[in-house]
Structure 1
Amino acid sequence: MTSGNRTAREDPTTRVGLLSRAAEYAATVAIDLDVADLEWAISERARRRAGCCRYDPDSGEITVVLTWDAYREFGWDEFVGTIRHELVHAWEFQRFGESGHGDRFYRKADEIDAPRHCRSFTDGRIELVCTAADCDWRPERHRASRPVREPDAGYQCGECGGEYVVRHRASGRTWRTAEGYERARESLGDDW
């Protein structure tokens, strides 16, 4: 099957195939980056991010880490956006020794049509729910961060500044205090 003058390829079906295809694809992206110097790795643990870029300032080594489950959820056609996004981070690391999601990142991302943010590929197991009747703030969380474990430690709704409850999505269990979190965690056990 061909598209224009390029031959369409099947989507990678293995982790090694994904890394190989990602490195090949990266070499075709119009970014001033020494792609041959990049290391490529797969993450099996990530639950939220589709990829990341790690930099070792001592050695200068840059590793693009791609999440296998995100690739399987998105498919190749969407996942190339994640690759381009991580290439912008790699470019910043190679050029400036640091990277973030600031103006410089956004300008370069726009140049190579990289998404500014990569969407999550799984739903969070926990959500923070504002208790104000006219506020629909409900950010998801994948891990038990401090606002999840200790919602009574001065945290508030990110939209209206009101109080919130923490809700474990699968069980519907909610809590507003550190003690409530401990009770929920204990009662849910392996279902956490």
Structure 2
Amino acid sequence: MTDGERLTLADEILARARIHAREVVDEYDLAVDLAALEWTVSKRAKRRAGACRWDAARETATIVLARRAYERYEWPAFAGIVRHELVHAWEFQRFGESGHGARFREAAARLDAPRHCEEFADPRYVLRCLGADCDWTAKRHRASKPVKAPDRYRCGACGGSYEVEHAASGRIWTTASGYGGAKAALGDDW
């Protein structure tokens, strides 16, 4: 860093994550090749606190960490996300694939890494089954096809129809025209 340069929040996130990764590799004897590991920060991520991508041609794993998750979580929780993604990197480097199966669960438990991360952003939409005995719900951050036209889809659990709620306003619709009406009515508050 030269005089006049300022560190960004992304720089802070990456520095802390890299330091923690070195500590984890040493402490838990996790066979991750840190030299073949790249790091980046996503400013856009709203659902996933982290991700690990594998480039088989380069044999390089890239860990992507969400800036919003870093801002929302305390460091111990965010460090758990780093450990979670390190398990994926280890699996990719060693086996060429990664998932959340038994091998992942065993390694994650050894590192005290969460199997799944808590949500760090409130959903924009909530889908709910209207079936009498069904309690299926799903959260969405984007206006997916089922959000825009719920009448064209059925509940995966019971086959019933469902409704969609715009979380911020409480407006509910069950049809494509209902979606359009809610969007028009809310205008700038959409």
Is TM > 0.5 for Structure 1 vs Structure 2? yes
Matched, 1:156 2:155: yes
TM-score by length of 2: 0.85
SS in 2 for 1:139: strand
Do the aligned partners of 1:130 and 1:157 also contact (CA within 8 Å) in 2? Answer: no
Do the aligned partners of 1:52 and 1:64 also contact (CA within 8 Å) in 2? Answer: yes
Q: How big is the alpha-carbon RMSD for the aligned residues of Structure 1 and Structure 2?
A: 2.1
1:15-164 mapped onto 2 (5 Å cutoff): 15-29=10-24, 30=28, 31-156=30-155, 158=157, 160-164=158-162
**Structure 1: which 5+ runs fail to align?**
1-11
TM-aligned CA deviation for residue 147 of structure 1 = 2.2
Indicate the percent of aligned positions where both proteins have the same amino acid: 54
TM-aligned CA deviation for residue 174 of structure 1 = 1.4
TM-aligned CA deviation for residue 157 of structure 1 = 5.5
Q: Which amino acid aligns with 2:129?
A: C
TM-aligned CA deviation for residue 134 of structure 1 = 4.8
Q: Which amino acid aligns with 1:97?
A: G
Which of 168, 174, 188 is the aligned partner of 2:166?
Answer: 168
Structure showing the higher helix proportion among its residues: 2
With over 3 angstroms needed to count, the CA separation of the structure-2 counterparts of 1:187 and 1:25, relative to structure 1, is same
**Structure 2: which 5+ runs fail to align?**
1-6
TM-score by length of 1: 0.84
SS in 1 for 2:152: coil
TM-aligned CA deviation for residue 46 of structure 1 = 0.6
Q: Deviations over 1:76-128 (max 9, x none)?
A: 11111100111111111111222222222112111211100011101101001
Q: Deviations over 1:14-37 (max 9, x none)?
A: 220210111111111122111232
Report the more deviating stretch, 173-182 or 130-139: 130-139
Which of 9, 14, 26 is the aligned partner of 1:14?
Answer: 9
